[in-house]
Structure 1
Amino acid sequence: MNPSRVGYPQVRGRGMRGRAWGIDAGGVNPELGRVAVGQGGVVSRAQAISAGYTPEQIRERLSDGRWERVRRGQYAERVDLGRLEPWEQELFRHRRLVHAAMNAMQPGSAVVSHHSALVLQRIPVWRADLAEVQLTRTNGRGEVKAGVRHHQGRLTPADLTQVAGLAVTSVPRAVVETASTTSFEAAVVSIDAALRRPEVSAGELRRLLTVTDCWPGGPTIRLALAFADPLAESVGESRLRVLMHNEGLPPPVLQAVFEDDAGFIGRVDFYFPDYNTVVEFDGLMKYADGSQYTLIQEKIREDRLRALGLQVVRLRWVDLAHPARTALAIRKAFDTSRRTRLAG
Structure 2
Amino acid sequence: MNPELKLVAARQGGVFSRAQAMAVGYTPEQIRERLTGGRWERIRHGQYAERADLSALDAWEQHIVRHRRAVHAAMNSMRPGSAVVSHHSALVLQGIPVWQVDLAEVQLTRTSGRGEVKAGVRHHQGRLSPADTTRVDGLTTTTIARAVVESAARTSFEAAVVSADAALRRPEVSAEDFRRLLAVTECWPGSPAIRSVLAFAVPLAESAGESRLRVLMRNEGLPPPVLQAAFNDAAGFVGRVDFYFPDHNTVVEFDGLKKYADGSREALIREKLREDRLRALGLEVVRVTWADLLQPARTATHIRQAFDRARRTRLAG
TM exceeding 0.5: yes
Question: 1:284 offset after TM fit, Å?
Answer: 3.7
Residue 79 (structure 1) aligns with: 52
Runs of 5+ unmatched residues, structure 1? 1-21, 23-28
Residue 67 (structure 1) aligns with: 40
Q: Is the 8 A contact 2:251 2:285 kept in 1?
A: yes
Runs of 5+ unmatched residues, structure 2? none
- Structure 1 letter corresponding to 2:154: T
Residue 157 (structure 2) aligns with: 184
Tell me if 1:127 matches 2:100. yes
Q: Is the 8 A contact 2:259 2:267 kept in 1?
A: no
How many angstroms apart in 2 are the aligned matches of 1:261 and 1:201? 38
Question: 1:211 offset after TM fit, Å?
Answer: 0.6
Question: 1:289 offset after TM fit, Å?
Answer: 1.7
Question: 1:30 offset after TM fit, Å?
Answer: 1.6
Which 10-residue stretch deviates more, 132-141 or 281-290?
Answer: 281-290
How many angstroms apart in 2 are the aligned matches of 1:121 and 1:158? 16
Question: 1:98 offset after TM fit, Å?
Answer: 0.1
- Structure 2 letter corresponding to 1:59: R
How many angstroms apart in 2 are the aligned matches of 1:258 and 1:326? 24
How many angstroms apart in 2 are the aligned matches of 1:263 and 1:109? 59
Which 10-residue stretch deviates more, 95-104 or 275-284?
Answer: 275-284
* TM-score, normalised by the number of residues in structure 2: 0.99
Residue 330 of structure 1, aligned match among 299, 303, 310: 303
Q: Is the 8 A contact 2:256 2:289 kept in 1?
A: yes
Alignment of 1:137-216 (within 5 A): 137-216=110-189
- Structure 1 letter corresponding to 2:5: L
- Structure 1 letter corresponding to 2:132: D
How many angstroms apart in 2 are the aligned matches of 1:184 and 1:174? 15
Alignment of 1:249-288 (within 5 A): 249-288=222-261
Q: Aligned with 1:216: secondary structure?
A: coil
Measured against aligned partners, the alpha-carbon deviations of 1:102-157 in whole angstroms (never above 9, x if no partner) come to 00000000000000000000000010100000000000000000000000000000
Residue 94 (structure 1) aligns with: 67
The higher-RCO structure (CA 8 Å, 6+ apart) is: 1
Residue 204 of structure 2, aligned match among 216, 228, 231: 231
How many angstroms apart in 2 are the aligned matches of 1:174 and 1:284? 29
Which 10-residue stretch deviates more, 97-106 or 289-298?
Answer: 289-298
Measured against aligned partners, the alpha-carbon deviations of 1:227-261 in whole angstroms (never above 9, x if no partner) come to 01110000000000000000000000000001100
Tell me if 1:292 matches 2:242. no
Question: 1:286 offset after TM fit, Å?
Answer: 2.2
How many angstroms apart in 1 are the aligned matches of 2:92 and 2:47? 20
How many angstroms apart in 2 are the aligned matches of 1:270 and 1:303? 17
Q: Aligned with 2:16: secondary structure?
A: strand
How many angstroms apart in 1 are the aligned matches of 2:258 and 2:142? 30
- Structure 1 letter corresponding to 2:56: R
- Structure 2 letter corresponding to 1:330: I
Q: Aligned with 2:68: secondary structure?
A: helix
How many angstroms apart in 1 are the aligned matches of 2:278 and 2:175? 35
How many angstroms apart in 2 are the aligned matches of 1:208 and 1:272? 33
Measured against aligned partners, the alpha-carbon deviations of 1:183-234 in whole angstroms (never above 9, x if no partner) come to 1001100000000111211221111000111111111110010001110000
Q: Percent identity?
A: 76
Q: Aligned with 2:166: secondary structure?
A: helix
The root-mean-square deviation of aligned C-alpha atoms, in Å, is: 0.6
Q: Aligned with 1:250: secondary structure?
A: coil
How many angstroms apart in 1 are the aligned matches of 2:269 and 2:276? 11
How many angstroms apart in 2 are the aligned matches of 1:284 and 1:256? 21
Number of residue equivalences:
317
- Structure 2 letter corresponding to 1:44: S
Tell me if 1:319 matches 2:285. no
* TM-score, normalised by the number of residues in structure 1: 0.91
Runs of 4+ displaced beyond 4 Å: none
Q: Aligned with 2:260: secondary structure?
A: coil
